[in-house]
Amino acid sequence: MTTRRLMEELQAEVRGGGVFGRSAPARGVASLLPSARGDTGGSVRGGDASVVKQPAPRVQDPALLEQLKASTPAKVGVGRAGLRYRTQTLLQFLADFAVAKAAVESQVPEGWAEQQGWVALQTAAEDPDQFLARPDLGRRLSEASMSVVRERFARDPDVQIVVADGLSATASMQNAPPMVQALEPELARRGLSVGTVAFVRHCRAKIADVVGQAVGARVAMILIGERPGLGTGDGMSAYLVWQPHEERTDAEKQAISNIHRRGMLPEEAGRFAARLIEAILEQQTSGVTLDVSRIEVPKSGLSAPPAHPAGPQARTRINQAHPEPLAGCGQSHGQQCDRAQNGLPGAVCNRSDGRPCEATTY
């Protein structure tokens, strides 16, 4: 429809210029015409450069582009077929989206918390669907769980640890046990007492305040599975707070994010958390008012380049085996060899005459 749009633009211009004169073109049309001296400028309308769109920038350094693409699972520089994604991009997108959905739908199995030696609790949300639909219920403990906390939990600990499924049970199950295991000896070495470790099902980050307040902890820490991103469903975060109570705001929380195998390793995060807890207790505050300038940050974590050669989040793309559509498949028109598009390893389009492959339209 590109020509139709161009002509409609022009039509509006012509109408704006009024009736055509006999002796001279109306202003509207005159401004459309190049001057008689042979104006070779890029503009159609009397110097209004915005009319002629700039072409898309060309890649000056293809190697740099490849490096950038390899550093992220995000779909950048993936090209297109007409106005659409290429099929391999779409398939990758669907696969990544499925990872995120599976993470949200994942559940911690019954008995898992007890195996870790933790006490299992539940929020007021009764099932996963209600948990997703009612954030408020995920911020309150159920009556039964609340009485467990009051009756069985150690009182007045220095540190109350809460493990939560959050929006990715997979993330918690992978990362919380090693992090807690790394953290506990570090706290013991500093002479700090750790309360009864809780695992809370259907849980949001606020529960750290609830449990911490109920037991009278000096610092509460929650380890929670994060909202998955596209293709990343295993990220966990830790939030720490000084003197937990229900009025604490997010600004008063200390966060350690991206705890997973490609980000900050859970073992390192445990040791980092111990240093943070020490500082929180010393400065008697947490969040934006905490001075973290003298705290050592793990190398593979927040600011340093990744220790892993493939980059922090590089994953195998679905079509690694067949990354580019082959020449001769007519791919510039959105018609690629369908075998190539499906990306089956080793499937090769044999056509080399520049004609579209036979099973190509959809």
Distance CA 43, CA 56 (A): 17
* Nearest CA among 250, 225, 220, 247 for reference residue 235: 225
61 binds another protein (CB under 8 A): no
47 binds another protein (CB under 8 A): no
**The sheet that has 119-122: what strands, in order across it?**
119-122, 198-201, 159-164, 219-225, 236-242, 253-259
Among residues 44 and 269, whose Cβ is nearest to another protein?
44
Dihedrals phi, psi of 68, to nearest 5 degrees: -65, -40
Stretch that binds another protein, among 8-16, 120-128, 175-183, 214-222 (CB under 8 A): 8-16
Q: Are strands 253-259 and 119-122 parallel, antiparallel or unpaired?
A: unpaired
Which one of 87, 254, 335, 341 is in contact with another protein (CB under 8 A)? 335
**CB within 8 A of 355, min separation 6: which ones?**
328, 330
Which one of 60, 293, 303, 361 is in contact with another protein (CB under 8 A)? 361
247 binds another protein (CB under 8 A): no
Distance CA 139, CA 211 (A): 11
53 binds another protein (CB under 8 A): yes
Q: How far is the CB of 31 from another protein (least distance, A)?
A: 9
Stretch that binds another protein, among 30-38, 104-112, 128-136, 306-314 (CB under 8 A): 30-38
336 binds another protein (CB under 8 A): no
Which one of 80, 84, 299, 333 is in contact with another protein (CB under 8 A)? 333
Scanning the structure block, which residue is given the tokens 């049970």?
169
Alpha helices in the chain (DSSP H): 2-16, 27-30, 62-70, 87-105, 112-115, 128-133, 143-152, 169-189, 207-215, 266-283, 338-342
229 CA to centre of own chain: 3
26 binds another protein (CB under 8 A): yes
76-115 footprint of another protein as x/- string (CB under 8 A): ------x---------------------------------
Which amino acid would we find at residue 187?
L
42 binds another protein (CB under 8 A): yes
33 binds another protein (CB under 8 A): yes
Which one of 67, 284, 320, 332 is in contact with another protein (CB under 8 A)? 332
Q: Do residues 193 and 158 touch, judged by C-beta distance below 8 A? A: yes
Q: How far is the CB of 82 from another protein (least distance, A)?
A: 8
Scanning the structure block, which residue is given the tokens 């900050």?
264
Stretch that binds another protein, among 37-45, 90-98, 143-151, 281-289 (CB under 8 A): 37-45
Q: How far is the CB of 14 from another protein (least distance, A)?
A: 6
Dihedrals phi, psi of 237, to nearest 5 degrees: -125, 155
Which one of 14, 78, 91, 281 is in contact with another protein (CB under 8 A)? 14
Q: Do residues 267 and 261 touch, judged by C-beta distance below 8 A? A: no
Say how many residues touch another protein, by CB under 8 A: 48
9 binds another protein (CB under 8 A): yes
| Residues making contact with another protein (CB under 8 A) | 1-4, 6-11, 14, 20-26, 29-30, 32-34, 36, 38-40, 42-44, 51-55, 82, 330, 332-335, 354-358, 360-361
